Structure 1
């Protein structure tokens, strides 16, 4: 039986081994590349979703979503919306009720994405709501992942420039890991919840 914290302490996370996505990372910079990437992702039953926005250090300045990350078990596509906008194929993917989309604070991500183009996301699971039903109070991806897997997700690239035309390796790894971590978390939490194989 898995022992989980109701709330994970920051000190617990600090010394854990680092987790990174080790599948294929594909950066999509041109709208002509979107359809093929979406086709590859659409064969999956469940996808991990995340977004990144250029940080603003001035009050009242909010940037549009620069990056949409979509991951399955083997592939994470980094769609640079700052280069080509919110492409119709991506809107169709997020609105496809046959594919479950999993993320953390998805409502916020989708609200910000809708500022680029209105859309109707379907078949979505927000991990924050999911863990509340299990009695877990952790709301951050880093703490949730540490709680369930005893591994640490680095947040060092979080405040980097997501509107850059070329990403650093650390940006790519950070972005892909966040999206994949949502998928990995959901699958394990679902298993624990359905089997009641956990203690708080």
Structure 2
């Protein structure tokens, strides 16, 4: 929940649709793998179709998002050859993967796809400054950029398992991974300056 002060902040601009790559073909996968393996750090997140019934198990993740400084790559699970690329990147010990609230994402990737994610930094806990609660992306954007990250509950709870995602879903998902990388970079610069 945003505070009254955070509500008054200018909106966070976010990634542009032109900078989002939907990985659907072998060519897309090869291009994504080349770009992702060239990075030292990647923004990382997943989306799953929400569950609404008590005791209903999630069948996610349905979408995995990885972001470089320039672009976000979205992998719909079930669309091959996405899993081979994800396995190579997410299991890499040389690439740091950063994001918010990643413990569930990591568990689901292992359970559904057999991916043993390594070298992951959960910014929710890493960015806490003697605070008891974990820090979310909205609060981090306000703290580091003085802007308001808009996260629509309507988009959050949409069906991420659909074969064709809407433009709003694509931008929301891409922003989740991309903003994590931007916050990580800013945090490291701030740490170095201290």
Q: TM-score range by the shorter chain?
A: 0.7 to 0.9
- Indicate yes or no: 2:157 matched with 1:159: yes
- Indicate yes or no: 2:56 matched with 1:45: no
Higher normalized strand content (fraction of residues): 1
Which residue of the partner structure matches residue 147 of structure 1?
143
Which residue of the partner structure matches residue 29 of structure 2?
34
- Compare 14-23 and 144-153 and name the one that shifted more: 14-23
- Indicate yes or no: 2:104 matched with 1:114: no
Q: Please list every run of 5 or more consecutive structure 2 residues that lacks an aligned counterpart in the other structure.
A: none
Choose from 2, 11, 14 the match for 2:4. Answer: 11
Per the TM alignment, residue 106 of structure 1 is displaced from its structure 2 partner at its CA by 1.9
After superposition, the Cα gap between the structure-2 partners of 1:92 and 1:44, relative to the gap in structure 1 and judged at 3 Å, is same
Superposed CA offset, 1:62-121 (max 9, x none)? 231010000011110110014348612211111111211111122221111111122322
Which aligned segments of 4 or more residues in structure 1 are displaced greater than 4 angstroms?
none
Q: Secondary structure at the match of 1:49?
A: strand
Distance in structure 2 (CA, Å) of the matches to 1:115 and 1:84: 18
TM-score (norm 2): 0.87
Choose from 53, 57, 74 the match for 2:52. Answer: 57
Distance in structure 2 (CA, Å) of the matches to 1:38 and 1:107: 24
RMSD across aligned positions (CA)? 2.1
Distance in structure 2 (CA, Å) of the matches to 1:185 and 1:127: 9
- Indicate yes or no: 2:90 matched with 1:90: no
Higher normalized helix content (fraction of residues): 2
Q: Secondary structure at the match of 2:130?
A: coil
- Indicate yes or no: 2:123 matched with 1:123: no
Superposed CA offset, 1:143-191 (max 9, x none)? 1211211112221121111111111111111111110110011111122
Distance in structure 2 (CA, Å) of the matches to 1:37 and 1:85: 11
Is the CA contact (8 Å cut-off) linking 2:24 and 2:75 kept in structure 1? yes
- Compare 21-30 and 94-103 and name the one that shifted more: 21-30
Is the CA contact (8 Å cut-off) linking 2:49 and 2:161 kept in structure 1? yes
Q: Which has the higher contact order (CA 8 A, sep 6+)?
A: 1
